[in-house]
């Protein structure tokens, strides 16, 4: 069985994801090289904001996120397409980094929280460095208030998605995405300023 090229069509990826969801281990082996470059680019972007001596590397982050998403019984849900898979991987990477930060902080008994540069979401954070654990807590709070806005922030910041891609993943119009982004940005700016 040949490994698919990384530029496989969205239909090919959707078929692989469907097969993986049914427990096809051969499809799992073919899927990884197809999505690897995109996931690695995403992980590299997330890791750029981490401290230089971080014990996780982008490759490790990709592997851990991928394994969490495709392991048997992983939420029992399938992925609609490549974009949905990558967006979900972005959230998984966020969770891995948050868990890693919390574990490190527990070892240090709360000292020296990691900061992540939020330059990719500059409109929200204006090139500030933000405590990753504090950001996670704010996103959890935002999710209780407005799940759509919280998901949008995850997709834009952690997933690196455009407004149009977010609209497609969330199943709403681009106009709605612009509106919700403006509100989420204002809410986060207000809460980050008070930290």
The predicted model gives 12-33 an average pLDDT of 81
Give per-residue pLDDT as tens, 56-77: 788 888 888 888 888 765 554 5
Top mean-pLDDT range of 2-16, 39-53, 146-160 = 146-160
Q: Indicate the residue among 72, 89, 112 that finishes a domain.
A: 112
Phi and psi, residue 131, nearest 5°: -60, 120
- Are residues 53 and 102 located together in one domain of the fold? yes
Q: Is the pLDDT of residue 78 over 60?
A: yes
Same domain, 157 and 98: no
Residue 126 is predicted with a pLDDT of: 39
**One domain, residues 8 and 77:** yes
Q: For residues 103 and 123, state if they share a domain.
A: no
Question: What's the CA gap between 24 and 156, in Å, rounded?
Answer: 31
Q: Which long-range contacts (CB under 8 A, 24 or more apart) does 56-65 make?
A: 56/96, 56/97, 56/100, 61/93, 61/96, 61/97, 62/36, 62/93, 64/96, 65/39, 65/89, 65/92, 65/93, 65/96
Same domain, 119 and 106: no
Q: What pLDDT score does 106 carry?
A: 59
Q: In sequence order, what E strands does the chain have?
A: 115-117, 129-131
pLDDT higher than threshold 80 for residue 27: yes
Q: How far apart are CA 16 and CA 26, in angstroms?
A: 9
User: How many angstroms separate the CA atoms of 32 and 82, rounded?
Assistant: 12
Q: Are 25 and 90 contained in the same domain?
A: yes
Q: Are residues 105 and 160 in the same domain?
A: no
149 with 90, same domain?
A: no
| pLDDT single digits (tens) 137-184 | 888 898 999 999 988 888 887 777 788 888 888 889 989 999 899 888
Q: Show the domain range for 62.
A: 1-112
How does pLDDT run across 83-133, given as a tens digit for each residue?
Answer: 888 888 888 888 888 887 777 765 554 444 444 433 334 344 433 445 667
H or E element: which one contains 113?
none
Same domain? 29 vs 99: yes
Query: Are 132 and 102 within one domain?
Result: no
Q: Which residues pair with 131 in a beta bridge?
A: 115
State pTM to two decimals.
0.58
Given 85, 112, 139, which residue is the final one in a domain? 112
Are 102 and 41 within one domain? yes
pLDDT value of residue 2: 35
CATH code assigned at 192: 1.10.10
Q: Are 142 and 187 in contact (CB under 8 A)?
A: yes
Report the number of distinct structural domains present in the chain: 2
177 and 82 both lie in a single domain: no
> Residue 17 — φ and ψ, nearest 5°?
-60, -40
Q: Could you say which of 112, 135, 166 is where a domain stops?
A: 112
């Amino acid at each position: 069985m040949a490994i698919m090229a990384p530029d496989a069509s969205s239909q090919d990826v959707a078929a692989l994801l469907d097969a993986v969801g049914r427990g096809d281990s051969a499809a799992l082996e073919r899927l990884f090289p197809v999505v690897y470059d995109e996931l690695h680019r995403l992980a590299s972007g997330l890791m750029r904001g981490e401290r230089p001596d971080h014990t996780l590397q982008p490759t490790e982050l990709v592997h851990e996120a991928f394994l969490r998403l495709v392991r048997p019984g992983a939420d029992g849900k399938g992925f609609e397409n490549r974009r949905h898979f990558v967006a979900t991987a972005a959230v998984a990477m966020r969770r891995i980094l948050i868990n890693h930060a919390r574990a490190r902080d527990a070892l240090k008994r709360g000292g020296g929280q990691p900061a992540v540069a939020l330059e990719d979401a500059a409109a929200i954070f204006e090139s500030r460095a933000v405590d990753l654990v504090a950001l996670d807590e704010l996103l959890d709070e935002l999710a209780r208030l407005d799940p759509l806005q919280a998901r949008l922030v995850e997709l834009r910041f952690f997933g690196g998605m455009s407004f149009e891609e977010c609209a497609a993943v969330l199943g709403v119009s681009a106009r709605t995405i612009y509106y919700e982004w403006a509100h989420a940005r204002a809410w986060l700016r207000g809460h980050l300023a008070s930290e």
